[in-house]
Amino acid sequence: MRNTWLSFSALLLVFLALSVQAVDTNAVTAIVGGTVVDLEGKAPIENAVIVVEGERIATIGVAGSVEIPDGAEQIDVKGAWLIPGLMNMHVHLGLVLPGKMKAELHNESEAALALRMAMNARESLQAGVTTIRLTGDLHQADLALMRAINKGQADGPRIFSAGQALTIVAGHGSKKEGRKKFSGPDELVKGARTQISAGAKWIKIAISGGIATDGGGLAEALMMPEEIQAVIDAAHRFGVKVTAHSGSPVATSIAVDYGLDCVEHGYFLDRPTLKKMKEHGTWLVPTIVVSQPASAPFFERIGSPPWYLKRRDSAGKAHWKALQMAIEEGVNIALGTDQMPAEPNDGTTATAREAQYYVEAGMTPLQALRSATIETARMLEAEDETGTLEQGKYADIVAVDRDPTQDIKALRNILLVMKGGKVYRNKL
Ligand SMILES: [Zn+2]
């Protein structure tokens, strides 16, 4: 009897231990020996100790000044540089592009889509990207995945989603399978409210044509001013920000006047429009990597048709010039790729290559790093929770092998990824 009781207790203990491990909110980890990059451009913290309790940073400082709690698990990152988890602000986890890829995914079920998106989320995290903004996915699979990740049922970055993008009849994206189209201010307002009600934290509108669809010219203002105004007003009343797919200076200028928060791509933006964006504090998410040579092998791999490649090339030069001008004018820039964050590009990921392009276009490495971390957090109004390595913030930490404020190519090699205190990658 006594033996039975003992073994029962032992079993119970094992069971309790296992369940604690599964939802280990009290785990203490000390990341020791690394150099913590300062995003204000000040000297880094060398030989640092970061104590992580649960999902947040408890203390951070030079070794010796920080007490490592008894029983803390230690991760030795000697020789590595520590930065906040990267953020990518233009992602479609369920991305489908014209050509072979579209043919293969024809009639994809919603369940299959959700599983493909979960895989892409997992790979994004592996690439050091701990926060993403989704700028248009279908069937609310994005919102389901966001909830699953928050509950620990799936691995992936923190998700801020715009739900389904609001596209007008005949506009950019309107011919995509399974997508609802809108016409007139009333329908767009209803569309925005529907997305907000479902859990969207942003609203995305398509106000000009795009590369990937034949829905109107890239530089044309396709959505009417009253439609743009109505949808921005409707979203702002709920405290929800609005971002616009736009290649058009005219459409962008109108939308910025109505309080647009963010512009995606900006292929043909001119200096006056960029100056206006600077004045209004409007954000630009360049997604430069999609129109530049580094992504050419990607488009070959997915079997993009000739019309698509032509459209992409014709936008590429203007897009590059627009980015250079935006940097010169000091427009707020948040990093985004419009490819999967982990998509192979030029021997690295789309996210790392995008940041490298920013430096090639005129940013300092520190500015490029900020556009993938603290600036981005500021755009999301999440800077109290993430975006820097500071006490009280989420322990979203990435280790690289060089100082990225000296050489942005450091982002090409991600050694360690921690999100919310949990390690998802360790190549140290
Ligand atoms: Zn996109």
358-376: per-residue pLDDT in tens?
Answer: 999 999 999 999 999 999 9
Tokens of 184: 């007139």
**Mean pLDDT of the residues in the chain:** 92
Ligand 1 midpoint to CA 390 (Å): 32
pLDDT in tens, 316-332: 999 999 999 999 999 99
pLDDT in tens, 62-108: 999 999 999 999 999 999 999 999 999 999 999 988 888 888 898 99
Kindly state the DSSP code that residue 20 receives in the 8-state scheme: H
pLDDT band at 135 (very low <50, low <70, confident <90, very high): very high
Ligand 1 midpoint to CA 214 (Å): 14
Long-range pairs for 227-230 at CB < 8 Å and ≥24 separation? 227/168, 227/184, 227/185, 227/188, 228/254, 228/255, 228/258, 228/260, 229/185, 229/258, 230/185, 230/186, 230/188, 230/189
Could you give the percent of the chain with pLDDT greater than 90? 79
Mean pLDDT of 147-163: 98
Q: What angle do CA 367, 267, 86 make, to 5 degrees?
A: 35
Tokens of 179: 């997508």
Ligand 1 midpoint to CA 374 (Å): 22
3-state secondary structure of 307: helix
Ligand 1 midpoint to CA 334 (Å): 14
As a whole number of angstroms, the distance between CA 304 and CA 307 comes to: 8
- Return phi, psi of residue 318, to 5°: -60, -40
pLDDT in tens, 291-325: 998 888 888 888 888 888 888 888 999 999 999 99
Ligand 1 midpoint to CA 238 (Å): 24
Is the model's pLDDT at 11 over the cut of 80? no
Q: How many CB atoms lie within 10 A of CB 14?
A: 10
Is the model's pLDDT at 345 over the cut of 70? yes
Per the CB < 8 A criterion, the answer to whether 91 and 156 are in contact is no
Number of helices followed by number of strands (H, E) in the chain: 13, 20
Is the model's pLDDT at 17 over the cut of 70? no
Ligand 1 midpoint to CA 287 (Å): 8
Strands of the sheet with 241-246, listed across from one edge: 202-206, 241-246, 262-265, 283-285, 332-333
**Gyration radius from the chain CA atoms:** 23
End-to-end CA distance of the chain: 50
Ligand 1 midpoint to CA 92 (Å): 6
Ligand 1 midpoint to CA 265 (Å): 8
Helices (H), 23-140: 100-104, 110-126
Residue type, 46: E
Is the model's pLDDT at 28 over the cut of 70? yes
What pLDDT is attached to residue 214? 62
3-state secondary structure of 241: strand
- Please, is 304 exposed, middle or buried when counting C-beta atoms within 10 Å of its C-beta (0-12, 13-18, 19+)? buried
- For tokens 């913590």, what's the residue? 36
- Please, is 355 exposed, middle or buried when counting C-beta atoms within 10 Å of its C-beta (0-12, 13-18, 19+)? buried
Q: Decide which of 403 and 210 is more confident.
A: 403
pLDDT in tens, 215-261: 666 767 789 999 999 999 999 999 999 999 999 999 999 999 999 99
Ligand 1 midpoint to CA 91 (Å): 6
- Domains of the chain (ranges; CATH) run 22-84+388-426 (2.30.40.10), 86-379 (3.20.20.140)
pLDDT in tens, 262-282: 999 999 999 999 999 999 999
Ligand 1 midpoint to CA 281 (Å): 22
Residue type, 275: K
Q: Decide which of 356 and 294 is more confident.
A: 356
Q: What residues flank ion ligand 1 with Cβ within 5 A?
A: 338
Ligand 1 midpoint to CA 280 (Å): 23
Ligand 1 midpoint to CA 151 (Å): 27
Helices (H), 281-394: 296-301, 306-329, 350-360, 365-371, 374-379
Ligand 1 midpoint to CA 60 (Å): 37
Question: Hey, CA dihedral for 237, 238, 243, 244, is it positive or negative?
Answer: negative
What pLDDT is attached to residue 212? 62
